[in-house]
Structure 1
Amino acid sequence: MSREPLPIAAEFPPPSLDAWRKLVEKDLKGKPFSSLQSPLEGGLSLKPLYTSEDVPSPVEPPGVAPYVRGTQPLGHTEGGWTVCQEYAGPDVDSTAESLRTDLERGAMGVWLLLDAPYGVDVKDAATLKRLLAHVPLERTPVHLEPARDVLAPASLLLQVADGLGIQRAALKGSLGIDPIGALARSGATKADVAATLREAAPLVTSLLKEAPGLRALLVSSRAWADAGATPVQELAWAIATGVEYLRELERAGVSPNDAARSVQFALSVGAHFFPEIARLRAARLLWAKVVAASGGSPEAQAMTLHARTASATKTKHDPWVNILRATSESFAAVVAGADSVSTTPFDEPLGTPDEQGRRLARNTQLILRDESSLNRVADPAGGSYYLEELTTEVARAAWAELQRIESLGGMSKALTQGDVARAIAESVAARDKAVRTRRLPIVGVSEFPHLGEAPVRREPHPTPVSTTEGGSLPLRPVRLAEAFESLRDASDRHLATLGVRPRAFMVSLGTVAEHTTRSTWIVNALSVGGIEADEHRDLKDAAQVAESFAKTGSPVAVISGPDAMYPEQVPALTQALKARGARFVAVAGRPGDHEAAFRAAGVDLFIYAGADLVQLLKTLHQQLGVA
């Protein structure tokens, strides 16, 4: 047998992008080529194909400014990224026990949300010492994220370390001085941003000498990410916050080089896997450009990046699907080269996570590291035409938004003047429309709901109290699933009060082959609102349908079947149903040219793909007596 290589590809002419496009346009049969592009939030879109022409120049290797491919030459191949659990439990002692358990079982770092009702209530050094009783500070990174008083916790951590005789040079983590984040999260700071940073300037300088592993400043995007900002907005506003910190610290006598080396970034990672990878890579690029323009050294241009799985994507109903969501988001953060990652426990939307929720979150990262070996490759995304080009596009879009914020006078002014709230409101409205029409589906809530799921109970989170202190209203956290979850909650209350869920009579017309697709869709759509479909098939005529309906006692009837049968049967069925007591008749599918005739016969509602399903289900709830 010949061992000569068989160069099959060499026997064919190399394909060209133009030739491919001509074939695609032929197959589109008149549709525009743009129909193959997938729109993203922030005005971006994904092309159907990326080639070497999209990345004409080589990207710098990992460890080289502007650090698109990571800040370390070997990535996280030596030891991996830091598995960093987040904690916000209201009880200090139980949270301290959670810290002990998690650190013994694989967690490597601690991220503490502080200030009740947002996080752990730490008022003094003694309380913080109790909280960190089982945390070996000399080898465990500790990160603080206060919601209100951003200066006091920094000194408390240092007091605890000094009291335990731990050298400051051994400390790692961040102290969480983030006045803009506090302004956005709680609507109040004890001093304005400039005054806070002036007061923090001596600490920034001293820590660079005494505790180089401890970063004084934090840029957290949590407030606007949780409130519904687009990924591009979140990135741009985080960089804008960093710019303002550099500027104010320079006025306080700290060089941009030293200030940049004192900043820790913390970004949320959402559901769109590849765009989120590109966004985190773009974050390093933009920060490097900012620091370089400010006169910072290549070393100072390296971003220290913490990534957390997004809260907005998680659901209260069927919360087990949150495990899959958090896995995808953690995977994206790791592939993008985050230095530390926090995985949200699946039960976090329900209240304070329990040990099972924290264990599953922790083990998600351990599996990615130890079984998927994601720490063995430096920049797995590097060299992908798709991701390299998308990184550039995301960076350009975020830079344009950064310039807009700068034209307003900076991030703190954009917050206090209401520009950020206005922009978020527009983003939330657009996203809410996509959710309500199920163009943005939510598994377990707006798609494939499980009405028989066993409820998961947790101690509820305390309710934050709004304040206008400091000249700004707080940004309210929202989750994508809230509108649909309110419908399910109403159904659950109906079940608890009356012993049954709201139920609608449903007749499926035609043969099984003719009605199965639409009937299955409508049953699923009703279940989204917690409405059970009492489905009836093989009924011969309108009289039999009406007779079956009368026996159910339901005030609502739904007609489902093939479009071809509707013109003849829908008017007769509707009239027969209403004659036997139906207060409300809905038809599955778009009515088209027959809408006037159907409504004249008594049809009240049409349920179809692309409609505002939340509003349709609210209407059905009203008719079914669901409070």
Structure 2
Amino acid sequence: MSQVPLHIAADFPPPSPEEWRRLVDKDLKGKPFTSLQSSLEGGLSLQPLYTQQDALGAPPPEPPGVAPYVRGGHPLGHTEGGWLVCQEYSEPEVALAAEALRVDLERGAQGVWLCLGKARGIRVDDAAALERLLASVPLDRTPVHLEPETEPLKAASFLLRAAERARVPRSALRGGLGIDPLAVLARTGASPAGLGAALVEAAPLVTSLRESAPGLRALLVSTRPWADAGATSVHELAWAIATGVEYLRGLERAGVPPEHSARSIQFALSVGGQFFPEIARLRAARLLWSKVVAASGGSPEAQAMALHARTASATKTQRDPWVNILRATAESFAAVVGGADSVSTSPFDEALGTPDEGARRLARNTQLILRDESSLNRVADPAGGSYYLEQLTGEIARAAWAELRRVESLGGMAQAIAQGDVSRVLAETRAAREKAVRTRRLPIVGVSEFPHLGEAPVHREPHPTSPDGPSPRATRVAEVFEGLRDASDRYLASHGARPRAFMANLGTVAEHTARATWIANVLAVGGIEAREHHGFADVDAAAALFAESGAPLAVISGPDALYPEWVPALTAALKARGARAVAVAGRPGEHEAAFRAAGVDLFLYAGADLFALLSSLHQQLGVA
């Protein structure tokens, strides 16, 4: 065996970006380079390659623990014990929620995040109820965070009273009191006292806790109302910072300097399904908040953001809910790599109703595995140094800063909410996102991609209804297609079978398999079962097989070259044998007019509004 060292780097010098670009342009064969870019919500684009040149001109980021804290708020990251495993709870019944807290804390959770309220949350009406809720929670060593739906100051007083009754000194308390008046305004559409009055009322508490309970943060900036309503990641970040700005100003007017008020604010952001952009967004959040506090006169120590990250509710599905385990794992992974101080992983069955103990266990253990088996806590800022993530962090920060300035030009976040600007933006965002979902540019595994018609349903107790009306829930991206599957289930219950389609596959198996497989998956998205038939001797044979199948829908699928000869005659024959609807797989191109004249009802192809097409089929098949 040769003992001569192999110097690959010397023999194969790295190509320059310009050389790489020339090779790529050659392989694209006339397609624009932009075809390799991926679009993100908020007007951002991901490049196919990031190199050292992308970092030139920008100063290297400060190390972890140094302002502006892009790389994390602690010098050693989470290497000393890890991030805080802080599960969230919204079970309305106090007794059931208390039992969930007890089990989770005994089996690995380190903190609790309590969503309180009648419409959506634990129904804590008085201090005694909160004491029952926290009966098994050792307040002297367990961070407790409140997120009340309304009346946050009352909820804060309940927690402080519960600590007194348990003989726990305030100096030992850690967590947050959840005073977030703008979230109340966004969630309920009303702010009884007004933002200014609410902050004036909160100011004495902020001041007193600075000395008596330094481990408690009085104010909260939660993006839950906007994330659940469909905000993009850029809007969610910008509006969080804009809310923080409002709180700094309001508390300063009430006599609390930004140096103190900044240390009393905690942020809670939702983490969605775009893995790397979400990592970059959490890093950008710390950067922007540091800049805001610095501009307000706060010290470098006051500029550090206390950041809680929760897995997004909007990304979860009711269909094939087991995929939610993967979604929550990726979102938790992104939250940790992005440097969140505490993370909450939602149970996989959250969208179905009240999570059961098994689902809570899986959610809790997701973080424990990431920490104790994947060792994500052993590296300070694992994202640091990546040309891609460093560049993306800056781009997201700039986009969010531009939106922050726009909100400021309206008079601030409170005015943007009151004037309806936030509602307008959310409506536009939801419309754009729904279009992406309907055309499958935003695919949803198990729902709009790779649906499993024979999946065993997962049943959960429905979320309890508030005495004041139905509880508000997150706008989930999968809902539009899940409605079609619900209709198919009702059809199955009343007819004994799902709506069926006869697949008239033309040509050889090799010629039609790829397109026929794609069509079968498309039909399953709408809960329509495809029955495939491979090849026919002639039109009459195909029509006879269709009549025997008893299916009301026929889909012609095969190579485009066979369509001009087969489609007109076959469509007429199928309609003559009772087909309520005939669809053709693929774009019709120049033959559309002729095919429609022959009786073709619609065309199924990639990029079409799949929801509209499937809804049309439901109408024609009597499913809707």
- Counterparts of 1:314 and 1:126 in 2: how far apart (Å)? 34
- Counterparts of 2:166 and 2:358 in 1: how far apart (Å)? 32
Cα distance, 1:464 vs structure 2: 6.6
The reply on whether 1:217 has 2:214 as its aligned counterpart is no
Cα distance, 1:219 vs structure 2: 0.2
The amino acid across from 1:173 in the alignment is: G
Q: Is contact 1:143–1:174 with CA below 8 Å preserved after alignment? A: yes
Q: Hey, what does 1:16 align to over in structure 2?
A: 16
Superposed counterparts of 1:93-132, under 5 Å: 93-132=95-134
The reply on whether 1:77 has 2:79 as its aligned counterpart is yes
Q: Hey, what does 1:297 align to over in structure 2?
A: 299
Cα distance, 1:13 vs structure 2: 4.8
Q: Secondary structure at the match of 1:84?
A: strand
Q: Hey, what does 2:417 align to over in structure 1?
A: 415
Q: Is contact 1:220–1:266 with CA below 8 Å preserved after alignment? A: yes
The reply on whether 1:611 has 2:613 as its aligned counterpart is no
Superposed counterparts of 1:145-544, under 5 Å: 145-463=147-465, 477-544=474-541
Q: 1:475 to 1:21 in 2, by over 3 A?
A: farther
- Counterparts of 1:380 and 1:419 in 2: how far apart (Å)? 37
Q: 1:350 to 1:76 in 2, by over 3 A?
A: same
- Counterparts of 1:477 and 1:196 in 2: how far apart (Å)? 27
The reply on whether 1:624 has 2:610 as its aligned counterpart is no
- Counterparts of 2:598 and 2:24 in 1: how far apart (Å)? 46
- Counterparts of 2:421 and 2:53 in 1: how far apart (Å)? 38
Q: Is contact 1:236–1:398 with CA below 8 Å preserved after alignment? A: yes
The superposition leaves residues 233-265 of structure 1 with CA deviations (integer Å, 9 ceiling, x where unpaired) of 000000000000000000000000100000000
Q: Is contact 1:505–1:549 with CA below 8 Å preserved after alignment? A: yes
The amino acid across from 2:231 in the alignment is: A
**Bigger shift: 541-550 or 368-377?**
541-550
- Counterparts of 1:502 and 1:12 in 2: how far apart (Å)? 60
Q: Is contact 2:221–2:244 with CA below 8 Å preserved after alignment? A: yes
- Counterparts of 2:12 and 2:380 in 1: how far apart (Å)? 35
Cα distance, 1:429 vs structure 2: 1.0
Cα distance, 1:462 vs structure 2: 3.6
Q: Hey, what does 2:135 align to over in structure 1?
A: 133
Cα distance, 1:394 vs structure 2: 0.5
Q: Secondary structure at the match of 2:192?
A: coil
Cα distance, 1:477 vs structure 2: 3.0
Q: Is contact 2:120–2:472 with CA below 8 Å preserved after alignment? A: no
- Structure 2 unpaired stretches of 5+: none
Give the percent of matched residue pairs that are identical in Structure 1 and Structure 2: 74
Q: Hey, what does 1:470 align to over in structure 2?
A: none
- Counterparts of 2:567 and 2:513 in 1: how far apart (Å)? 18
- Counterparts of 1:20 and 1:253 in 2: how far apart (Å)? 59
- Counterparts of 2:300 and 2:20 in 1: how far apart (Å)? 42
- Counterparts of 2:433 and 2:560 in 1: how far apart (Å)? 31
Q: Secondary structure at the match of 2:178?
A: strand
The superposition leaves residues 570-626 of structure 1 with CA deviations (integer Å, 9 ceiling, x where unpaired) of 111111111112221111111111111111111111111111111111111111111
- Counterparts of 1:88 and 1:28 in 2: how far apart (Å)? 51
- Counterparts of 1:29 and 1:380 in 2: how far apart (Å)? 38
Cα distance, 1:139 vs structure 2: 0.4
Q: Hey, what does 1:26 align to over in structure 2?
A: 26
- Counterparts of 2:402 and 2:5 in 1: how far apart (Å)? 51
Q: Is contact 2:87–2:111 with CA below 8 Å preserved after alignment? A: yes
The amino acid across from 1:496 in the alignment is: A
* TM-score (normalised: structure 1): 0.97
- Counterparts of 1:218 and 1:614 in 2: how far apart (Å)? 39
Q: Secondary structure at the match of 2:152?
A: coil
The superposition leaves residues 442-481 of structure 1 with CA deviations (integer Å, 9 ceiling, x where unpaired) of 00000111111111111112457999xxxxxx99731110
Q: How many residues align?
A: 621
Cα distance, 1:30 vs structure 2: 2.0
Cα distance, 1:55 vs structure 2: 1.6
- Counterparts of 1:5 and 1:548 in 2: how far apart (Å)? 69
The amino acid across from 2:126 in the alignment is: D
- Counterparts of 2:373 and 2:61 in 1: how far apart (Å)? 29
Q: In structure 2, which of residues 575, 582, 585 is the aligned counterpart of residue 588 of structure 1?
A: 585
Cα distance, 1:159 vs structure 2: 0.4
- Counterparts of 2:498 and 2:114 in 1: how far apart (Å)? 41
Q: Secondary structure at the match of 1:319?
A: coil
Q: 1:513 to 1:85 in 2, by over 3 A?
A: same
Cα distance, 1:145 vs structure 2: 0.5
* TM-score (normalised: structure 2): 0.97
Q: Secondary structure at the match of 2:351?
A: helix
Q: Is contact 2:308–2:341 with CA below 8 Å preserved after alignment? A: yes
